[in-house]
Amino acid sequence: MNYRTFVTIQSLLMTASSMVFPFYLLLIRNIGDSYSQFGLAYGLFALTGALVHPIIGRLSDQFGDRTFILLHTWGMAGLMLIVPIIETVTALYLVQIVMGILGAVQKTSEKTVLARQSEGVQTGTKIGSYHLWTSVWGAIAVMLTGYLIDFLTIGSLFYIASFLYMIAGGLILKSVTTTSEIQEKKPVQL
Amino acid sequence: MISLYGIAFYTSTSIHSHQQQTVVVEDAGKLLPTKMKEVKSSHSTKELQKWVKQEKTISIAGMQHSQGGHTVYPYGTLLDMKRYNEILNFNPKEKTITVQSGVTWAEIQKKINPYGLSIQVMQSQNIFTVGGALSVNVHGRDIRYGSLIDTVNSFRLLKPDGEIISVSREENSEYFSYVIGGYGLFGVILDVTLHLAEDELYQHRISTMDYQEYEEHFKEKVKNDEHVKMHLARLSVAPKTFLKEMYVTDYVLAENQRKLSRYSKLNEKETVVLPKFMLGMSRYSEWGKDVFWETQKKHFQNSNGRYQSRNNVMRSDSTFMEYENANRTEVLQEYFVPVDQFASYIDDLRKVLEKEDLNLLNITIRYVEHDEDAVLSYAKDDMFALVLLINQGRSEKEIKKTEKVIQKMIDVTLDHDGSYYLPYYSYPTEKQLKRAYPRIDEFFEKKRELDPKERFKNLFYEVYSQ
């Protein structure tokens, strides 16, 4: 996986997640019948994320970034297929926990890849450009969805997001495995 | 991997599209969100007829202010009658009007007010449809015309087999007393011919009193004085005067009726910010209830002597009562108790409520005359009707909690030869239902006889008919 593929993938992820985020909140609100359930669902996500971070950090060194990004993309692609059919609060809590874990995976791998890319040279510039592109895609996605939602159902929005995650997952599968050794010899270019 | 995803994608979308085929509907009680197959509505009688023939299970709905799932049934088709709303014939000379059942009282008032006419019997608010009102056989502030059933000349009914028949006291009369107060179980009421009253000018007469004086006040100064045409009382739920203090509004025929034209313009929505705020406070604190009661009392006392047309009395505003809360809701109860048992009944009710934790926000009292025309008649005697507004949670635990108190209150009511009103949540037990409505078995038997395929169903029928 080179840097360009990485940014493309991350932009896809950002697009997908920004697209569904507001509607996902709405969904959580509607499934739970009180604000306390809403709070619990959201808190579960954050708490699971927090608790698994140390473990994921350690595992990331062991299995490599690629595996982790693979896990995140395919995991989210699958999860987005479950979200539109959730009916009970318990199912929602479970989804929130899984999402917490997958979120932590993404956060960690995103940072480790970035950290490994630059070896301390021009780190700021690289991170700057990385955030520029991913955020631009996120912003475009949110705005587009605002228009699209008049024509689409909320359910289909989750399916589109799942599809985007799937494409991102496919791109990683297609990309060649680059070990960190090779990466060191041949630093990827923007 | 891709094919695996493909399978998952297909499974998810097919489940999702299956789920989407239902729609969740709930009534004003907000305790019974129910998945239904579809909501259908139409202007056309032909179309309604077609649907009744082809749909397996149908629930009929107007404004859905019944609170016990009377307008919904799981996976049934909801027939929303609100669009079936034409005024078909208005005869000012004969003082009759024929309307489709989706017409609201407000629409009738707008039509007949210029002719100096008024509705005989309806609820205190005018937002409801005529069909819905008939199905629950409503009553209101009027004390001279009886229940709604007395004001109905005839109606047309779309039967479960799709046939349309005319129903009146003479024609197909067996349907008359079942359909009115029949909770939509016998067919779709298509159009209704109602008797109208003259619009009149009333003067408000406000009196504050102790609950023990109420019966005498009513008998002497209201019932026996034919100049009093309408009546409404309030009983305190504020801690300081709990179920003791009352104030009463009598609507007395004004001496000079020529002044009517000055007051006959229909009033539109009032500003509701203050009452809404006060009611809001009384939801959350005992102190708020005291303040609300005192302010409301003063406000009403100040309106003593005020003139108002009959039509305007019959369009009182309820928007200040609208309540949006994700966890809580407001439900109604209505208890009927014979006039001469009022004081002892209130004493017993107070004993129950002083021990229980119930967030009671308001009690209004009206009068209904003895009337057993409807099979499910609540007026087995000359009765006072107490409407209770209760704030409660929507969780199962909260429903159970309210149920316990309400069943106790109903027992007290029944012990005083009273009855309770059916359009509310199914808190009462089957035993209580039988005590309050001795003809309930006959009612359900007739339902099964006239609708053997049980095409018309709702949650009220589901809960109590077995």
Q: What is the CATH number of the domain that holds A91?
A: 1.20.1250.20
Q: Do A74 and B2 touch (CB under 8 A)?
A: no
The answer to whether residue A130 neighbours chain B at the CB level (below 8 Å) is: no
**Run of H or E residues at B157:** strand B152-158
Answer whether residue A183 is part of any domain.
no
Strands B77-80 and B152-158: what pairing? unpaired
Q: Is there a contact between B233 and B246 (Cβ–Cβ < 8 Å)?
A: yes
Nearest to B268 by CA among B323, B300, B316: B316
Q: How many CB atoms lie within 10 A of CB A121?
A: 9
Which residues of chain A from 170 to 189 reach within 8 Å of chain B, CB to CB?
170, 173
Residue A184 lies in a domain: no
Cβ–Cβ of A162/B9 closer than 8 Å? yes
Give the A:B interface size as CB pairs under 8 Å: 40
Query: Cβ B326–A159 below 8 Å, yes or no?
Result: no
Distance CA B39, CA B16 (A): 19
- Please say if the pLDDT value at position B273 is more than 80: no
Q: Could you identify the residue written with the tokens 């309400």?
A: B406
Q: Work out the pLDDT band at A190, boundaries 50, 70, 90.
A: very low
pLDDT in tens, A99-111: 999 999 999 888 8
Determine the Cα–Cα distance for residues B388 and B427; give it in Å rounded to an integer: 14
CB contacts, 8 Å: B8 with chain A: 78, 81
Longest dimension (CA), chain A: 56
Chain A residues closer than 8 Å to B12 by CB = 81-82, 84-85, 159
Q: Is the pLDDT confidence value at A189 over 70?
A: no
Contacts of A173 in chain B (CB under 8 A): 1
| Closest C-alpha to B459, from B413, B427, B432 | B427
CB atoms B16 and A78 under 8 Å: no
**Over chain A, what is the mean pLDDT?**
83
Is residue A130, in this structure, part of any structural domain at all?
A: yes
Q: For residues A138 and A127, what is the distance between their CA atoms, to the nearest angstrom?
A: 16
Q: How many CB atoms lie within 10 A of CB B225?
A: 13
* DSSP run (H or E) holding B296: helix B286-302
CB A19, CB A161: distance < 8 Å: yes
How far apart CA A103 and CA B97 sit, in angstroms, is: 66
Considering only residues 69 to 88 of chain A, which have any Cβ-Cβ distance to chain B shorter than 8 Å?
74, 77-78, 81-82, 84-85, 87
Q: Nearest CA of chain B to the CA of A54: how many Å?
A: 29
B58-61 and B77-80 beta bridge pairing: parallel
Is residue A166 a part of any domain in this protein? yes
A162 CB within 8 Å of a chain B CB: yes
Which candidate from A33, A34, A81 shows the least CB-CB separation from B12?
A81
Mean pLDDT of the B340-361 span: 96
> What is the pLDDT averaged over residues B387-403?
94
A30 in B contact zone (CB under 8 Å): no
- A90 vs B390: which has the higher pLDDT: B390
For B201-430, CATH number?
3.30.70.2520
> For the CA atoms of B71, B77, B78, B79, what is the dihedral angle to 10 degrees?
-120
Please list, in sequence order, all residues whose beta carbon lies within 8 angstroms of the beta carbon of residue B364, skipping any fewer than 6 positions away: B124, B232, B233, B234, B235, B386, B387
Does A189 fall in a domain? no
Residues of B with CB under 8 A from a CB of A: 1-2, 5, 8-9, 11-13, 15-16, 19-20, 326-327, 394-395
Q: What is the largest CA-CA distance in chain B?
A: 88
CA distance B8 to chain A (A): 7
Q: Tell me which residue in A34, A77, A155 faces B5 most closely, judged by beta carbons.
A: A77
Residues of chain B with CATH 3.30.465.10: 83-198
CB within 8 Å of chain B, chain A residues 31-70: 33-35
Of the two residues A122 and B260, the one the predictor is more confident about is B260
Q: pLDDT value at position A148?
A: 79
Rg (chain A; Cα; Å): 17
Question: pLDDT of B407-457, one tens digit each?
Answer: 999 999 999 999 999 999 999 999 999 999 999 999 999 999 999 999 999
- Higher-pLDDT residue of B326 and B268 is B268
Q: Which residues contact A94 (CB under 8 A, 6 or more apart)?
A: none
pLDDT at position A186, please? 46
Task: Please state, in angstroms and rounded to a whole number, the distance separating the CA atoms of residues B359 and B128.
Answer: 26
pLDDT value at A57 more than 60: yes
Pure H helices in B180-285: 211-217, 260-263, 273-284
Q: What is the CATH number of domain B83-198?
A: 3.30.465.10
Say yes or no to pLDDT of B172 above 80: yes
Contacts of A169 in chain B (CB under 8 A): 1
Number of separate domains in chain A = 1
Residue B164 has pLDDT above 60, yes or no: yes
pLDDT(B119) > 50: yes
Nearest chain B residue to A30 by CA distance is B326
Task: Kindly report each contact of residues A48-54 with a partner whose C-beta sits within 8 Å and lies 24 or more positions away, as own/partner.
Answer: A48/A96, A48/A97, A48/A100, A48/A101, A48/A104, A49/A100, A49/A101, A49/A103, A49/A104, A49/A107, A50/A104, A52/A100, A52/A101, A52/A104, A53/A104, A53/A107, A53/A108
CA distance B239 to chain A (A): 30
Q: What is the amino acid identity at position B145? A: Y
Asked whether the predicted pLDDT for residue A179 surpasses 60, the reply is no
Nearest CA to CA, how far is B16 from chain A (Å)? 5
> What's the pLDDT band for A120 if we cut at 50, 70, 90?
low
CB B179 within 8 A of CB B157: yes
Structure pTM?
0.76
- Residue A96 inside a domain? The answer is yes
- Angle at A166 (CA atoms; ends A162, A170), nearest 5 degrees: 175
Report pLDDT digits (tens) over B58-114: 999 999 999 999 999 999 999 999 999 999 999 999 999 999 999 999 999 999 999
For residue A34, the distance in angstroms to the closest alpha carbon of chain B comes to 5
| Structural domain of A49 | 3-176
- Listed residue (A168, A66, A165) closest to A112, CA to CA: A66
Provide CB contacts within 8 A for A113, sequence distance 6+.
A6, A65, A69
Residue range(s) of every CATH 3.30.70.2520 domain in chain B: 201-430
Chain B residue closest in CA terms to A173: B1
With an 8 Å Cβ cutoff, are B327 and A74 in contact? no
Burial class (CB in 10 A: 0-12, 13-18, 19+), B356: middle
What amino acid is encoded at B384 in this protein?
Answer: F
Q: Which residues of A touch B9 (CB under 8 A)?
A: 81, 159, 162-163
The helix-helix angle for A89-118 and A65-82 (nearest 10°) equals: 150
| Residues of chain B contacting residue A170, judged by C-beta atoms under 8 Å apart | 1-2
* DSSP three-state, residue B182: coil
Which residue type sits at B450?
Answer: L
